Structure 1
Amino acid sequence: MTKILMVCLGNICRSPLAEGILKSKLSEDFIVDSAGTANYHSGSAPDKRSIAVAKKYGLDISNLSGRQFDVSDFDTFDLIYVMDHSNFDNVVRLARTAKDTSKVKLILNEVHHGKNFEVPDPYYGGEHGFENVYQMLDEACDAIVKNLI
């Protein structure tokens, strides 16, 4: 069973969307979760705008709950996808071994190999930003699925 973790800053916008999208594309033979590098929103539901854009595409992420990334996640998960360089650095900083580090990837590199593009944080933007993030993550998740199956 492959276990995949999606990571952003607060675990209320990008990573819960990525979790919901990827879960919808994979069978129950996979486990998908999400976390944030900061603890600002631990225990909180996803941002209402993330919930709304997910719902627009038939996904319900309203039951997800924010949590902070922990070193033990390196032991639990096979792949750790981060949304941007800052979160990549924050996760890699916690890595204990080269094996831990090798699990961490920028999610958009699944679509734009080696370009190191970031999924922008839509938190301070409008509804359009959440739509753009959804589209980016949907495309990246299609690429992840293609690589896994």
Structure 2
Amino acid sequence: MDWTLEVIVVPVSDVDRAKEFYSDKLGFHVDIDTHVTKEIRIIQLTPPGSGCSIVIGEGIPTPGGRAPEPGSYVGLQLVVADIKAAHAELVERGVEVSDPIEVAPGDGGTFLYFEDPDGNAWAVQEYRVRATRPLYEVLRPKDRT
């Protein structure tokens, strides 16, 4: 059975401010912005080319009633084929972003970092091979089962 990661709920303090950041500054597509009930608002945003989305909102039920604090997520990660182009795009969009940092030699070893307005911390990793091959083919070649 395949298990796919489809959505990550990101805790934010101001839904409209976060929506503006993720859509206008990062270029995520707004898939859904709706009030499910009077108390529950859900906004789903998807990075260009991604199969996984994020959800921000108000009153979203959580397992066991435990909700993470806004800004408490560290290590959310995006992957791009060209980190220099990604850096230039983020800077042009007004995102405070680190310069690319090579933490290990070879493809997959270069990162840059930024935070959303609440302090949720994101990494962007460069995998140049992604420009020509999807990651699942790199990690699980067709001849493997």
With normalisation by structure 2, the TM-score equals 0.29
Asked which structure has the greater RCO (Cα within 8 Å, sep 6+), the reply is: 1
More helix by percentage: 1
Higher-strand-fraction structure = 2
